[in-house]
Chain A
């Protein structure tokens, strides 16, 4: 565990109209670690990720990046900071090859002409750096890749840009056993290379296999953020389904959400 967290969120609130999706959420993400973000459907995982990546503005709360307060108002701001998101639905173009996908929207050029050799070299170096050896040719179309290979390309695409924080939204949801293992291994390697990784997953086996810390969301509240080694499988499931587990989680009755103290509303330095 390193001294300063790479990303620290404090008191994040987010409402869509009358529905409060996130309330007083805090999260710390450390470089070189995989932080698993767990929670049931509708707990606010995706919304939190979209707030971090600048797709949704937050209503209140602070972002600290490397200890410095920052403002993330758009996906571009997030990308500038080195935050990359690998979405569940991949966002790859089937009709383009691996190199073309990895550089999509940020092509290297010499003059007005695309600099294909440079892009191909950089892509090969990135894949080699992640020890990815499962693709036979960088010039094959993404449509010809298996689900695991696609996920690998999507992750490599996120790493290509000297990113510091990679957020993975259910990267193994649609994969088979062998491919899941492949992707998890890659996720672990990202963290070992010094990146901060946030992994959203429903699969407890995946979470316990790779994560260093577990952050559990329950009905829009961060109920616990603990080291993976300090918690059991069953406790995490309880946190996800009931919001509390023994000494962890919500102190009061978790069912009566909405009338607890709303300290976040009074936090200064709101992001808006």
Chain B
């Protein structure tokens, strides 16, 4: 990758026309150089699924269990998506778990105790997230307390706030139909297929337009075959998933029919697209990477560093609020432990396993989704194999450690080869 060979002719920075083979060789050399990206998460996912499929072929591979994976992992994945923003700056938010609990408790109070419609409750929950995030961000950016300490304090305090909001240990039921549907109902099969088609067509349109635009301007582009492969890959993955989710998974069809894509899936997908757009295609996103990569350089470039630092905490806590809403929906209630116990560590784990660096400057929102899938598969598969909660915690802890080691080692390797 690093060459200082002087080119004899032509303008600066011309590489030979990329070929499909060259594209893959490039990718391989990047991986060897330590830029592993989401590869460990994808490989881990394949290994875990194979192991569980061999050990528990009937239960793990069933359509019902596949659908379960999504609803089980949804809350953690959503919180992890927000955490990616904070991790990109090299900061941490330990309070995201209980922040989601606080927001869920606000939701339950507004909808059940006060009797407002569901959308008021959702707005109140997200607004609570925004307030929490602003407060945390101000303390970190303006006063200068390390985020670890601020959010550790938040972790303890929010635990107390949840207890206070649910009146010391009772739980508040959530009975609103719309709210319950989020994590417990499915899209009609036909709607699932139409949304899939829409997603694939939209992705193809964006990719092809970009390709054409770059070719028209004479810029270096990925070969068309690679673009087609990407579109095809997305179509196959989405198509297979939707096909399986649209299978009948009710044990007794005569009593109730159970099929279709769980409603949380499109919610996660839309948020994934929105946040990916923000990070990759807007100057705000670019500035987040810049501040995470070299804060001083960002400051000298005229970027409002404090503003960026506060805003990522706002995004993180707002996503935690959405995670809390999904958790409340799935449990049909909010209790003092909503967003507690392992939720936060699973979320941090998901982001890191997916390939987001704990050192800042590197990561994507997609990482959180891939990592969330790994965490959900471990939780689900270990449960099916009848292991106790103790074993599950230990295994998840080991996987998180493994992911963090991959992160640290790939950084060292990158530093050695100069290709971070």
Report which A residues bind B (CB closer than 8 A). Answer: 75-76, 87, 89-96, 98, 100, 104-107, 109, 112-114, 117, 120-121, 123-125, 127-128, 130-141, 143-146, 148-149
Contact = CB atoms under 8 A, between A and B. Distances in A.
B361 A105 contact: no
B1 A140 contact: yes
Contact of A132 (B5, B12, B294): B12
B415 to A, nearest CB: 8
A133 to B, nearest CB: 5
A236 B297 CA distance: 34
B298 A93 contact: yes
A97 to B, nearest CB: 10
A139 B23 CA distance: 14
A94 B294 contact: yes
Interface in B1-32: 1-7, 11-13, 15
B294 A141 contact: no
Contact of B213 (A89, A104, A117, A134): A117
A91 B291 CA distance: 11
B302 A106 contact: yes
A87 to B, nearest CB: 7
Contacts of B419: 141, 143-144
5 contacts: A91-B294, A109-B283, A113-B281, A137-B13, A140-B2
Contacts of A105: 287, 290, 298, 301-303
Interface in B212-229: 213-214, 217, 219-220
A64 to B, nearest CB: 26
Contacts of A75: 300, 302
**Candidate in A90, A95, A120, A130 with the most chain B CB atoms within 10 angstroms:** A95
Given A134-B4, A143-B420, 13 more contacts: A91-B300, A92-B294, A94-B294, A95-B292, A95-B361, A96-B286, A117-B213, A120-B219, A124-B11, A128-B12, A133-B12, A138-B12, A144-B418
Given A121-B217, A141-B419, A87 B289 contact: no
B64 interface: no
Interface string B290-327: 10111011101111000000000000000000000000
Nearest to B301: A105
B12 A139 contact: no
A96 B288 CA distance: 11
A140 B286 CA distance: 16
Nearest to B357: A95
A89 B299 CA distance: 13
A132 B4 CA distance: 11
A117 B214 contact: yes
Given A96-B293, A120-B219, A146-B2, A107 B420 contact: no
A90 B303 CA distance: 16
Contact of A92 (B297, B303, B418): B297
A94 B296 contact: no
A25 B297 CA distance: 29
Contacts of A128: 11-12
A14 B159 CA distance: 54
Contacts of A130: 12
Contacts of B42: none
Nearest to B8: A133
Contacts of A93: 289-290, 293-294, 297-298, 361
A87 B299 CA distance: 13
Contacts of A131: 12
B388 interface: no
B296 to A, nearest CB: 7
Nearest to A148: B4
Nearest to A157: B301
Nearest to A109: B283
B1 A114 contact: no
Given A91-B301, A105-B298, A112-B282, A139 B418 contact: no
A121 B11 CA distance: 11
Nearest to A154: B297
Contacts of B199: none
Nearest to B216: A117
B330 interface: no
B289 A135 contact: no
Contacts of B406: none
Contacts of A91: 294, 296-297, 300-301
B283 A107 contact: yes
A268 B300 CA distance: 32
B297 A136 contact: no
A127 B294 CA distance: 23
Given A76-B302, A127-B12, A132-B12, A145 B2 contact: yes
Contacts of B249: none
A127 B13 contact: yes
A134 B6 contact: yes
Contact of A114 (B7, B13, B214, B281): B281
B286 A95 contact: no
Nearest to A105: B301
A90 B297 CA distance: 8
B220 A139 contact: yes
Q: Give the 7 A-B residue pairs with the shortest CB-CB distance, closest first.
A: A105-B301, A127-B12, A93-B293, A95-B293, A95-B361, A128-B11, A143-B420
B420 A133 contact: no
B414 interface: yes
A121 B290 CA distance: 21
Given A95-B361, A136-B13, A136-B15, A143 B418 contact: yes
Contacts of A112: 282
- Specify which of B7, B13, B219, B418 lies most central, judged by the most chain A CB atoms within 10 Å of its CB: B13
